[in-house]
Structure 1
Amino acid sequence: MTEQISRSPERLSSVAMAARILREFGKHSTQLGVSQLARRVGVGKSTAHRIIWTLVQEGLLEKVEETGLFRLTTTMRSLGASAETAQRLHEAATIPLDQLRQKTAGTLHVAILDGTDVLYVERREGPGAFSVFRAVGSRNSAHVTSSGKVLLAFLPLESQRRLVQTMRLSPKTSRSITSRTEFLAELARVRCQGYAENRGESQPGVCSIAAPIRDPLNQVVASVSVAESVEDVDRGLRHLIGPLVETAARISSGLGWNQ
């Protein structure tokens, strides 16, 4: 036990140094060499070399053969972009979500697409929160959620088809869509009408609707949704379509979208 404790500061020091090296790539340059990194973080070149190659082996950095320098891997760049997107969405969505919450007892979410899942980045709970509609940082299958349908519907059509082909359309309820042909037709309807519905497809008796959030280039980067327990699943939450679409437009405007 004593030996394990005595080594802890050394291990933590190495982690801290690795973190400092990774942060350097977000400051000025996208590609950096060993000598540059050693100088910037204030360590010897041999120490920097060992840490950098450990980060390469862990898939966080990669060496660019053409320049001999190092850069963040695609995974790390994507994580950075996702974090930035989540922060921008938080800032743009806060007031519109709080105002929409005054019009419904449902649970509100802002979500982004992550592979074939939706990733929830904002949440406002209603009086009865549903376990199937997860907390911030959690995910759900895109094909059984209104958020997922919106995010898939507005992808470029070729990208959409390729992604749907990789999906396992496993049913969550008897209402879940499990046919790729039917699902693609559903996405076409969503794209045409400008919003998506989930009528008991994730959980019996629970419906949700979602609308797209757009960036300054008119690309759909997220969705805003409301989920609620209903008596009439076929009717769903149609009375909230107008307020939800308006909320999506306001969040989009906060991101710089100009209708």
Structure 2
Amino acid sequence: MSTTAARGAETLTSVASAARILREFGKGNAQLGVSQLARRIGLSKSTAHRVVWTLVAEGLLEKVPETGLFRLTTTMSSLGASAETAHRLHESATIPLDQLRAVTDGTLHVAILDGVDVLYIERREGPGAISVFRAVGSRNLAHVTSTGKVLLAALPPEQQRRTVEHMRLTPKTPRSITSRSAFLAELATVRRQGYGENRGESEPGMASIAAPIRDPLGRVVAAVSVAARVPDVTVGLRHLARPVVETALRISAGLGGQR
């Protein structure tokens, strides 16, 4: 075997070892030591030590000072939680989204909050679907979307204030909200009325309306929306408020929440 091929094989082996170590933390083990990991996945202690500290350097694992053991960082835990949430939402949203598609030509989305962005995890296209609307896995600025407004409106007041303070309210159209005080007032309205609207704030001539999806504890974990071109962005898609809210309630019920 050539030197290059040998190095490539060694690199692939290291990647596989790192993946196996990370998987051990996904089996309900909050904290693990190097010796435990070495035994569980059949590595020498020196190899396990090297891989673990590489994962620490990359921000995927961290050492717990009190125990001397290792655990997933907040970033990795959040990724796992997001993946699990997306899977559960997919199962719960399929039928309600198909039912909502029967009453609108717009594009349907389910989105979750990721920092100050919304991440789209479900999409349904109707006959009037527009290619500019976001595909599954894409992101958009939360402050110019109906789903983003719903998700931000559900944050605890202090967390919401801190989040908005650190947001760049970059305008995407002349109708985008760029004042923090105006945006906080908009979030208060969304929370009060139970749905959020984007009236030409993300794309000219387009509107969307969204409602919150809740888990069994009543926490807002996602939002469902309809987006479409409209003749009057000041009116938007308010006529779809009721079916969108009903769809959100059905999805929430699928997650184990109460209607």
TM range, smaller chain: over 0.9
Distance 1:78 1:19 in 2: 17
Deviation per residue, 1:178-210 (Å, 9 max, x gap): 111111111111111100111111111101000
Match of 2:162 in 1: 162
Is 2:107 the partner of 1:107?
yes
What pairs with 1:1-259 in structure 2 (closer than 5 Å)? 3-259=3-259
Distance 1:222 1:87 in 2: 12
User: Counterpart of 1:44 in structure 2: which amino acid?
Assistant: S
User: Counterpart of 1:31 in structure 2: which amino acid?
Assistant: Q
Distance 2:100 2:73 in 1: 39
Distance 1:184 1:62 in 2: 36
User: Counterpart of 1:113 in structure 2: which amino acid?
Assistant: L
User: Counterpart of 2:196 in structure 1: which amino acid?
Assistant: A
Q: Secondary structure at the match of 1:140?
A: strand
Q: Secondary structure at the match of 1:213?
A: strand
Q: Decide whether aligned partners of structure 1 residues 172 and 65 sit closer, same or farther in structure 2, where only a CA change above 3 A counts.
A: same
Q: RMSD value over aligned CA atoms?
A: 1.3
Deviation per residue, 1:65-98 (Å, 9 max, x gap): 1111111111111111111111111111111011
Q: How many residues align?
A: 258
8 Å contact from structure 1 (residues 132, 202) kept in 2: no
Q: Secondary structure at the match of 1:103?
A: coil
* 1:141 Cα deviation from its structure 2 partner: 0.4
TM-score by length of 2: 0.96
Deviation per residue, 1:13-53 (Å, 9 max, x gap): 11011100110011132111111100100111111111111
Distance 2:258 2:175 in 1: 37
Task: Identify unmatched segments of 5+ residues in structure 1.
Answer: none
* 1:130 Cα deviation from its structure 2 partner: 3.7
Distance 1:15 1:129 in 2: 41
User: Counterpart of 1:227 in structure 2: which amino acid?
Assistant: A
Q: Decide whether aligned partners of structure 1 residues 258 and 48 sit closer, same or farther in structure 2, where only a CA change above 3 A counts.
A: same
8 Å contact from structure 1 (residues 133, 140) kept in 2: no
Task: Identify unmatched segments of 5+ residues in structure 2.
Answer: none
Between 87-96 and 4-13, the greater mean CA deviation after superposition: 4-13
* 1:6 Cα deviation from its structure 2 partner: 4.2
8 Å contact from structure 2 (residues 105, 129) kept in 1: no
Distance 2:51 2:200 in 1: 51
% identical aligned pairs: 76
Which stretches of structure 1, 4 residues or longer, exceed 4 Å deviation after superposition? none
TM-score by length of 1: 0.96
